[in-house]
C-alpha cells in the first residue's frame, strides 16, 4: 500500500522519434562481440549467415548454437510492414462495424462523455480506479489546468478477483473508508466521485452501466448484467459512507484521454498498456450510427473501443501455437486475442510457453526445467523488462532471474542470449501491435496533421524501448505523417480523468 502527494503527473515527458539507427548499430556490435566471445570449437558454425528475417530493432543476437531456433522463432513472431498494414486496414473496418451496430467484435462503446475539459475546473473530487492489478482511491484537487492528487493503492488478490460481487464491492467500500479516515476527509460535505471501472460496460448514462463480461482474470459472480454504480452505492450504504455522489462511471481509457486533454487540447486518443490494453478517442456524433441515447450537449463523444477483442476471429493477427496454448488455458478462451498478444498480464506467460517448448525439445537449459517455470503465469512481464535491460557481457542479471528467481539449475551464456532474444521478440511484437491499433484510430479520425496519444499503464511506463518500438512501427505504416503523432506518457491519468469527468458531468 502506498500513499502519495503527486502534482507532477501531468508533466509527462514527450518521447522523441528515432533511435533505430543506434539500436541497429548496437545489434551489429553485439553480433561482432558474440563472434569474438565464441569458443574456438564453435567457430565453424559461425559461417551460418545472420537470419534472413531481421526484425526492426534487433537488439541482441544469440550465440551460434541457437541460430536455427532463433530463426524459427523470428519467423513466427515478426510482424513486418505489410502485415502491419493489413492489420490497420482490418482494424479500421472493425471500428466502423462496431459503430454501426451492437454485438460486433469491437464493441465501440459510447461513453456518454461529450465535453472536452475546459481547463478551468476547480474543486476536490474523489476517484476510484479498478484497473486489473490494483484498486486505487484518490482525492483529486482540480486547480485549473493543474491537479494535485492524494492516493492510496490496494492490491487486488487473486482470491478477491473470484470472490462474490458483494465481497468485491464491500472491499472497495472498505478501502474508501480507510482513505477517508487516514486523510480525515469531512463527509458532512457532499462530494462527487468518479468511478473508473476498466471492464466492458454497457453504458446507459454517465453514471449508469452494466458489466457485459469480466476479463483480465476476474470471474467474480453476481456482477455481470448488474449496474456497477448501484453495486458500489449499496456497498457504500452498508459501510455507512454517506454524502458521496457517484457522478461518473468511466473506463480507464476515457479517464486517461480526458485527463490529458485537460492540459493538451490536441489529445484525441487515450490508450492503456497495463494489465490489459484498450483505447478511447473522440468520435463525431454523426459517425456513431448506432447511437440511440438522444440529444447530447456536443457534436462529438468519447468512444471506448474495447480493442483488446480485436480480431477474436483471428483473420489477420499472426497467432502462434504459443498464443493458442495461452488462450486455451485462460479463463476466457477465444476472446481478447489482441490483448493476449500485447498486455502486461500475458507477455511473460507467452515467454514461459516458448521456454517450456524449447526445454521439451532440448534446445534450452539442456532440457532442465524447474517447478517455478512449470507454474502458469510465474514468469512475470517485469522479468522481461529486467532481461531486456541486461547489458552485461555475460548477461548476469538474466542469470539471476533464471537461476535465482525461477530456480533453473544451470544456464549457459548461449541459453541466456536465447532467452533475451525471446523476450525481445515478444516485447517488439507487443509494441508493434499496439502501434497498429494507434495507427488505425488516427486513420479513422483522420488526424494526421497533429494528434497526441495519452498512454497510461505500467507496461508502457516500464518496459524498455517500448515507446521507441511503437514509434518505429508507426513510421513504417504511416510514413512521414507519423512525425505528427506524439505518444505521451499519462501517469495516473485514469484516476484523475474520472475525477475530472465527475466534476464536469453536469455541463
Ligand atoms: P492496472 O492495469 O491494474 O491499472 P498497471 O498499469 O500498473 O495496473 O499494470 C500492471 C501490469 O503491468 C502488470 O500486469 C504487469 O505485468 C505489468 N508490469 C508491471 N511492472 C512492469 C515492468 N517493470 N515491466 C513490464 N511490465 C510491468
Ligand atoms: Mg490502470
Distance 38 CA to ligand 2 centre (A): 44
The ligand minimizing its distance to the Cα of 250 is 2
Q: What is the pTM of this model?
A: 0.85
| Nearest Cα residue to atom 16 of ligand 1 | 344
* Nearby residues of 390 by Cβ (< 8 Å), 6 or more positions away: 396, 397, 398, 420
Residues contacting 290, CB < 8 A, separation 6+: 99, 100, 101, 102, 108, 110
Residue with cell 551489429: 28
Dihedral angle sign, alpha carbons of residues 366, 370, 376, 381: negative
Please state, in angstroms and rounded to a whole number, the distance separating the CA atoms of residues 340 and 287: 29
Of 9, 133, 138, the residue with max ligand 1 atoms within 8 A of its CB, to mutate for a pocket test, comes to 133
Which residue spans within 198-292 are E strands per DSSP? 201-205, 208-211, 244-250, 267-273, 277-284
H or E element: which one contains 165? helix 165-182
Pocket lining: 132 vs ligand 1, CB cutoff 6 Å? yes
- Ligand positioned closest to the Cα atom of 133: 1
- 424-440 burial string, b = 16+ CB within 10 Å, else e? bbbbbbbbbbbbbbbbb
Q: Is the CB of 274 under 6 A from ligand 1?
A: yes
Proportion of the chain in helix, strand, coil states, percent, rounded to 5: 45, 20, 35
Please report the atom of ligand 1 found closest to the CA of residue 132. Answer: 3
Q: Is 462 in the pocket of ligand 1 (CB under 6 A)?
A: yes
Instruction: Give alpha helix (H) positions in 392-465.
Output: 396-399, 413-445, 458-462
Ligand 1 in contact with 382 (CB < 6 A)?
Answer: yes
**Inter-residue long-range contacts of 204-213, CB under 8 Å, 24+ positions, other chains counted:** 204/293, 205/112, 206/112, 206/113, 206/247, 206/248, 206/249, 206/501, 206/505, 207/246, 207/247, 207/248, 207/249, 207/505, 208/249, 209/249, 212/107, 213/332
133 pocket-lining for ligand 1 (C-beta < 6 Å): yes
Q: Tell me how far the alpha carbon of residue 458 lies from the centroid of ligand 1, in angstroms.
A: 4
Ligand nearest to the CA of 132: 1
Tell me, what's the pLDDT at 479?
A: 96
**Predicted pLDDT at 7:** 33
Q: Which atom of ligand 1 is nearest to the CA of 347?
A: 16
**Among 260, 288, 284, which residue's Cα sits nearest to residue 272?**
260
How confident is the chain (507 residues) per 10-residue block, as mean pLDDT? 33 32 33 32 32 44 77 97 98 98 97 86 91 91 85 94 97 97 91 94 94 94 98 97 94 94 92 97 97 91 97 98 98 96 98 98 96 98 98 97 98 96 98 98 97 97 98 97 97 85 75
| The predicted structure's pLDDT at residue 425 | 98
CB atoms near residue 164 (< 10 Å): 12
Amino acid at each position: 500500500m502506498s500513499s502519495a502527494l503527486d502534482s507532477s503527473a501531468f508533466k509527462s515527458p514527450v518521447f522523441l522519434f528515432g533511435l533505430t539507427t543506434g539500436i541497429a548499430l548496437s545489434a551489429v556490435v553485439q553480433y561482432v562481440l558474440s563472434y569474438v566471445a565464441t569458443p574456438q570449437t564453435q567457430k565453424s558454425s559461425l559461417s551460418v549467415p545472420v537470419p534472413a528475417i531481421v526484425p526492426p530493432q534487433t537488439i541482441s543476437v544469440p550465440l551460434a548454437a541457437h541460430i536455427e531456433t532463433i530463426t524459427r522463432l523470428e519467423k513466427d513472431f515478426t510482424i513486418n510492414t505489410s502485415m502491419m498494414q493489413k492489420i490497420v486496414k482490418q482494424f479500421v473496418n472493425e471500428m466502423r462495424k462496431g459503430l454501426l451496430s451492437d454485438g460486433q467484435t469491437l464493441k465501440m462503446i459510447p461513453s456518454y462523455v461529450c465535453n472536452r475539459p475546459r481547463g478551468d475546473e476547480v474543486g476536490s473530487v474523489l476517484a476510484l480506479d479498478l484497473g486489473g492489478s490494483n484498486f486505487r482511491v484518490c482525492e483529486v484537487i482540480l486547480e485549473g489546468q493543474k491537479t494535485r492528487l492524494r492516493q492510496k493503492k490496494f492490491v487486488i488478490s487473486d482470491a478477491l478477483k473470484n470472490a462474490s460481487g458483494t465481497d468485491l464491492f464491500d472491499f472497495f467500500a472498505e478501502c474508501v473508508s480507510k482513505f477517508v479516515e487516514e486523510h480525515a476527509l469531512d463527509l458532512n460535505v457532499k462530494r462527487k466521485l468518479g468511478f473508473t471501472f476498466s471492464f466492458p460496460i454497457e453504458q446507459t448514462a454517465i453514471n449508469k452501466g452494466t458489466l457485459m463480461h469480466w476479463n483480465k482474470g476476474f470471474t467474480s459472480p453476481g456482477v455481470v448484467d448488474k449496474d456497477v454504480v448501484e453495486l458500489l452505492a449499496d456497498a457504500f450504504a452498508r459501510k455507512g459512507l454517506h454524502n458521496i455522489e457517484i457522478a461518473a462511471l468511466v473506463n480507464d481509457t476515457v479517464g486517461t484521454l480526458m485527463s490529458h486533454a485537460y492540459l493538451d487540447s490536441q489529445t484525441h486518443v487515450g490508450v492503456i498498456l497495463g494489465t490489459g490494453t484498450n483505447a478511447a478517442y473522440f468520435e463525431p456524433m454523426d459517425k456513431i450510427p448506432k447511437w440511440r441515447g438522444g440529444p447530447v450537449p456536443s457534436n462529438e463523444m468519447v468512444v471506448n473501443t474495447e480493442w483488446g477483442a480485436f480480431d477474436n476471429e483471428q483473420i489477420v493477427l499472426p497467432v502462434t501455437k504459443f498464443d493458442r496454448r495461452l488462450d486455451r488455458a485462460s479463463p476466457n478462451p477465444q476472446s481478447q486475442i489482441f490483448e493476449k498478444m500485447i498486455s502486461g498480464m500475458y507477455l511473460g506467460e507467452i515467454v514461459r510457453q516458448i521456454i517450456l517448448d524449447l526445454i521439451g525439445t532440448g534446445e534450452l537449459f539442456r532440457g532442465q526445467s524447474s517447478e517455478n517455470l512449470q507454474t502458469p503465469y510465474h514468469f512475470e512481464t517485469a522479468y522481461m523488462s529486467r532481461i531486456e535491460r541486461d547489458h552485461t557481457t555475460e548477461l548476469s542479471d538474466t542469470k539471476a532471474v533464471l537461476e535465482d528467481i525461477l530456480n533453473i539449475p544451470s544456464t549457459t551464456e548461449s541459453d541466456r542470449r536465447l532467452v533475451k532474444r525471446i523476450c525481445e521478440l515478444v516485447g517488439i511484437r507487443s509494441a508493434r501491435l499496439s502501434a497498429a491499433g494507434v495507427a488505425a484510430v488516427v486513420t479513422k479520425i483522420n488526424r494526421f496533421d497533429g494528434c497526441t496519444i495519452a498512454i497510461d499503464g505500467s507496461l508502457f511506463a516500464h518496459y524498455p524501448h517500448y515507446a521507441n518500438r511503437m514509434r518505429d512501427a508507426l513510421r513504417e505504416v504511416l510514413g512521414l505523417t507519423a512525425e505528427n503523432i506524439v505518444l505521451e506518457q499519462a501517469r495516473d491519468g485514469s484516476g484523475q480523468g474520472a475525477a475530472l469527468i465527475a466534476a464536469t458531468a453536469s455541463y
